[in-house]
Amino acid sequence: MKVKVDGEERDVLAVWRERGVVKMVDQRKLPHSFEIIDLNDHKETAWAIKVMVTRGAGSIGCAAGFGMAQAALEAADLPDEEFMAYLNEAADTLRDTRPTAANLFKAVDKCLKASEWGKVSVKVEGILREAEYILKDDIKATEAIAKAGAKLIKDGFKILTHCNAGALAYIGMGTALAPIRQAHREGMDVFVWVNETRPRGQGARITAWELEQEGIPYALIADNAAGYFMQRGEVDMVIVGADRIAANGDTANKIGTYEKAVGAFENKIPFWVAAPGMTIDLQTKTGGDIEIEERDPREVTEMWGLNEEGEPTTIRVAAEGTNARNPAFDVTPAKFINGFITEHGLVERPFIEAFYWLFGQPGLPPSFKYAGT
């Protein structure tokens, strides 16, 4: 991801590891300041995931993998039994950070699997390699998603997206923003409607910032304005990311996605979900089985920004003592989704057969419409 910091263009990742230190772009500070935070052990990395220093399914998956790598290094001098006990405790710590995104749990499990054989030194090296593989695989997946999804976009398209599914959320080219980036790079005239995505404003703070960095035309809109622009014929398609996709295609994404999907369906606007296999959870049968994270209600009753002096500040917008609820995600039923943009191409109905054939057990009959790449 290319960013301009103090007039200088830099190429950075949302999350990476340098020896025992995990480094993250502190997304809590964007767009008003660009800061890198250092996490020195797996507990610090778990804290950073929980408080959303980094966020987005892919980025927290990579962070969890790197947290497991840190734990392996921390316990490298212990006897095998104690090493595994330490590693499993670290896995629980990382799993307990955020419950909804599939990538986090898959990353932890992949690192645990890498520790199943060999002496401790071999297990440590295996976990370190697996953590790096997760990052590299994510980057490759976003590049494939970009090329597959760009084929859906026509010159002059106005595309609506919700939350942030860019390079800060999924390392590489992002997921929902990947096809848009690709189309823009191919010279297509594309325009993006950016939902603000309350309550944390990831669209306003992060997606708009990413598009600005890349020079892609966009307009920030209030969440409640999306239906207005759909109804006026000013939205040609919707592309969103995902935090967990159930086997039947039901998709958990940032709160408000469901409303956008219903609006798109009503106005006959194609609604696509961009996500790699890492986000598809074949163990979760339907969206009703997905655990939805509920966050601090103060995110709803308060807002964060800069004051007149340009200093970061939080203000209360609701009366003191106001009761609030703050689910972080909702589930869009598969019936509202036209298809999925994956690293294997465009997947259309029936989703469950496509997912099993592409990402599950080999040998299942591929009796589905598969658009390919």
> What residues are labeled active site?
243
Q: Is 262 helix (H, G, I), strand (E, B) or coil?
A: helix
Enter the DSSP assignment of 245.
Answer: E
Residues 163, 197 contacting (CB under 8 angstroms):
yes
Residues 62, 171 contacting (CB under 8 angstroms):
yes
As a whole number of Å, the CA-based R_g of the chain is: 20
Angle formed at CA 27 by CA 44 and CA 141, multiple of 5 degrees = 90
Tokens in use for 203?
């669209």
Q: Which of 168, 193, 169, 171 is nearest to 180 (CA)?
A: 193
- Helix 42-50 and helix 80-95, axial crossing angle in degrees, nearest 10: 10
Residues 334, 250 contacting (CB under 8 angstroms):
yes
Residue type at 254 in one-letter notation: K
Q: Does a cis peptide bond (omega within 30 degrees of 0) precede residue 350? A: yes
Tokens in use for 101?
């995104």
Q: Is 130 helix (H, G, I), strand (E, B) or coil?
A: helix
Range 75-83 contact pairs with CB under 8 angstroms and sequence separation of 24 or more: 75/120, 76/120, 76/121, 76/124, 78/120, 79/120, 80/119, 80/120, 83/120, 83/123
Residue whose entry in the numeric block shows the structure tokens 């927290």: 60
Enumerate the H helices of 164-206 as residue ranges.
177-185, 202
Tokens in use for 99?
């419950």
Angle formed at CA 54 by CA 49 and CA 57, multiple of 5 degrees = 85
Pairing of strands 280-281, 244-246: parallel
Helix (H) / strand (E) element for 2: namely strand 2-5
CB atoms within 10 A of CB 132: 16
Q: Is 267 helix (H, G, I), strand (E, B) or coil?
A: coil
